[in-house]
Amino acid sequence: MMRALPPLTARFLRDRTAAAAAEMALVLPLLMTLLFGAFEAGNYFWNEHIVIKAVRDGARFAGRQSFSKYSCSTVDPTVETEIKNLTRTGALSGGTPRIAGWTDDDVTVSISCSAATTDGIYRDMAGGAPRVTVSAVVPYTALFGLVGFDTKGITIAAEANSPVMGL
Is residue 1 situated within a structural domain? no
List the domain range (segments joined by +) for residue 127.
19-163
Give, in order, the Cα–Cα distances in Å from 47 to each of 84, 110, 144. 18, 23, 14
Pick the more confident residue, 51 or 13: 51
Residue 10 lies in a domain: no
Looking at the whole model, is its pTM more than 0.75? yes
With H, G, I as helix, E, B as strand and everything else as coil, classify residue 163.
strand
Is residue 111, in this structure, part of any structural domain at all? yes
Map residue 148 onto helix, strand or coil. coil
Q: What is the secondary structure of 101-141 as a DSSP string?
A: T--GGGEEEEEEEETT--SGGGTT-SS-EEEEEEEEEEEPP
**pLDDT tens digit sequence for 16-34:** 777 788 888 999 999 988 9
The answer to whether residue 134 is domain-embedded is yes
Specify the number of domains making up the chain: 1
Tell me if 72 is assigned to some domain.
yes
Which pLDDT value is given to residue 20? 80
